[in-house]
């Protein structure tokens, strides 16, 4: 029996000729990632276990992105713990305020991760890097500590689901709509501890930013990871960024998949996820008119330059509706600078948006957009559980940058086409 992409990557890093679903393996790691929330916990485990040295200072990334710039004393103390550790162990890839970006946008941008890598991160959306043809998955802080010390991690080889994409996305339909549609089809546990492997002619129609968004949210379907084949777009993206030799793996023709899901990109419409699960999907048109109080455009899911361009296309020459707060957060400093150079930031400010330095902030109800009781937001983030962005009686609607921007202008859930009709 052949192997899937994920199985081949895991076999390579375990030094085995082959692996199969259910096998327990010990694999070598290319990157170990943590942030300001999870790294301090990992540091305590690391030090309590008696470790005094990291396995490779060049293969650990610590990104202070969740509560930074520090919102309170507790977050400042967490960051201080991470800073001191990074300094002590001379961590190469340490990113603090002024240099920081949202981790899952920053690492690909900086060329820290690439094709064929085996990556763990103490953050659930570490699966983002599957867009580059890497095996990347979220782990707990204890696993991060073990990874920092040993450069290895135990894995149970996952079963796989094949998602075959065909056709081409229409105007105003993005990778966010693809993944929301998929989660709506299979549910939040539809890929529980499984690898979601994307294939088909439709893959070539997706931009790298679309792929990052889709892989990022594989966890919202319960996936262990989400992964795309390496193609010309992948290689073009890593050119000039990724300095290590890329390792390209392809699924065997006779690889076993638990099931196959076929998605016709031509048929997709702008899609949203209503409270309080990512799987509670409707087309944006179906719920058009639902009143909102806030819009957030940003996050590790949709804070890249293409996302900001999409939002600016809608907001240009328009104003955010009275009574609505619109917060725009470029995912990295480089993206922020590009947004300024292209005039996007000016468009946002003229429209009445607040533009923030890179931070995860509002996505997890941390800062820069926490909601009160009874408020409802349309947001380009990745999770809409109860209390995710503030009060337990607030509501989060997940959407693409196009729909989020149109909703900001309309003051309610709105499609770009619906905005033009008004």
pLDDT in tens, 141-193: 999 999 999 999 999 999 999 999 999 999 999 999 999 999 999 999 999 99
- Residues 193/222, Cβ–Cβ less than 8 Å: yes
- Rounded distance, CA 142 to CA 38, Å? 9
- The pLDDT of residue 419: 85
358 vs 176, 241, 326, 400, CA distance in Å? 20, 20, 15, 19
Architecture of the domain spanning 5-264: 2-Layer Sandwich (3.30)
- The pLDDT of residue 414: 96
Domain boundaries, the chain: 5-264, 272-421
Across the chain, which has 422 residues, the per-10-residue mean pLDDT values are 94 96 97 97 97 97 96 96 97 96 97 97 96 97 97 96 96 97 94 95 96 97 96 96 95 95 97 95 95 97 97 97 97 97 98 96 90 96 92 96 98 91 54
Measuring CA to CA, which residue among 191, 190, 193, 116 is closest to residue 157?
A: 193
Half-sphere exposure in the Cβ direction for 115 (13 Å, CA)? 22
What's the whole-model pTM score? Answer: 0.94
Fold of 272-421: Aconitase; domain 3 (3.30.499)
- The pLDDT of residue 30: 98
- The pLDDT of residue 105: 97
- Residues 284/415, Cβ–Cβ less than 8 Å: yes
Residues in the chain: 422
Mean per-residue pLDDT over the chain, rounded:
96
- The pLDDT of residue 214: 97
- The pLDDT of residue 141: 95
- The pLDDT of residue 421: 57
Q: How is the beta sheet containing 271-273 ordered, strand by strand? A: 281-283, 271-273, 395-398, 376-379, 294-297, 325-328, 354-355
Measuring CA to CA, which residue among 227, 190, 179, 182 is closest to residue 400?
A: 179
Q: DSSP letters along 266-314, please?
A: GG---EEE-TT-TT-EEEGGGGTT-B-SEEEE-HHHH-SHHHHHHHHHH
5-264 and 272-421: identical CATH topology: yes
- Residues 152/173, Cβ–Cβ less than 8 Å: no
- The pLDDT of residue 186: 95
199-258 pLDDT, tens per residue? 999 999 999 999 999 999 999 999 999 999 999 999 999 999 999 999 999 999 999 999
Measuring CA to CA, which residue among 189, 188, 187, 196 is closest to residue 162?
A: 196
């Amino acid at each position: 029996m052949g192997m899937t992409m994920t199985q081949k990557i895991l076999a390579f890093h375990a030094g085995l000729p082959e692996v199969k679903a259910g096998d327990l393996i010990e694999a070598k790691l290319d990157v170990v990632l943590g942030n300001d929330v999870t790294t301090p916990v990992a540091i305590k485990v690391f030090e309590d276990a008696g470790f005094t040295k990291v396995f490779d200072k060049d293969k650990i990334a610590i990104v202070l992105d969740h509560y930074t710039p520090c919102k309170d004393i507790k977050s400042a103390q967490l960051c201080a713990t991470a800073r001191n550790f990074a300094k002590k162990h001379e961590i190469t890839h340490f990113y603090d305020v002024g240099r920081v970006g949202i981790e899952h946008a920053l690492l690909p941008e900086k060329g820290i991760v690439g094709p064929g890598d085996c990556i763990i991160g103490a953050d659930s959306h570490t699966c983002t890097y599957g867009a580059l043809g890497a095996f990347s998955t979220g782990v707990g802080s204890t696993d991060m500590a073990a990874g920092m010390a040993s450069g290895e991690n135990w894995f149970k080889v996952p079963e796989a689901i094949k998602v075959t994409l065909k056709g081409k996305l229409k105007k105003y339909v993005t990778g966010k709509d693809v993944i929301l549609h998929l989660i709506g089809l299979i549910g939040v546990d539809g890929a529980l501890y499984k690898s979601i492997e994307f294939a088909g002619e439709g893959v070539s129609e997706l931009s790298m930013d679309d792929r990052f968004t889709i892989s990022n949210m594989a966890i919202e379907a319960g996936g262990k990871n989400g992964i795309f084949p390496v193609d010309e777009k992948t290689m073009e993206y890593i050119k000039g960024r990724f300095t290590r030799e890329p390792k390209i793996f392809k699924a065997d023709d006779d690889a076993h998949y638990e099931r196959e899901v076929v998605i016709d990109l031509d048929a997709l419409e702008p899609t949203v996820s209503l409270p309080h699960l990512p799987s509670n999907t409707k087309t944006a048109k179906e719920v058009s008119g639902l009143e909102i109080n806030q819009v957030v455009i940003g996050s590790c899911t949709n804070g890249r330059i293409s996302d900001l361009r999409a939002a600016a296309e809608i907001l240009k020459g328009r104003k955010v509706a009275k009574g609505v707060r619109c917060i725009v957060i470029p995912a990295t400093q480089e993206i922020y600078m590009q947004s300024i150079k292209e005039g996007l930031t000016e468009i946002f400010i003229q429209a009445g948006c607040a533009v923030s330095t890179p931070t995860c902030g509002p996505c997890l109800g941390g800062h820069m957009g926490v909601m009160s009781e009874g408020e409802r937001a349309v947001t380009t983030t990745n999770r809409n559980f109860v209390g995710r962005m503030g009060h337990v009686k607030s509501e989060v609607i997940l959407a693409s940058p196009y729909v989020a921007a149109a909703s900001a202008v309309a003051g309610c859930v709105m499609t770009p086409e619906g905005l033009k009709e008004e």
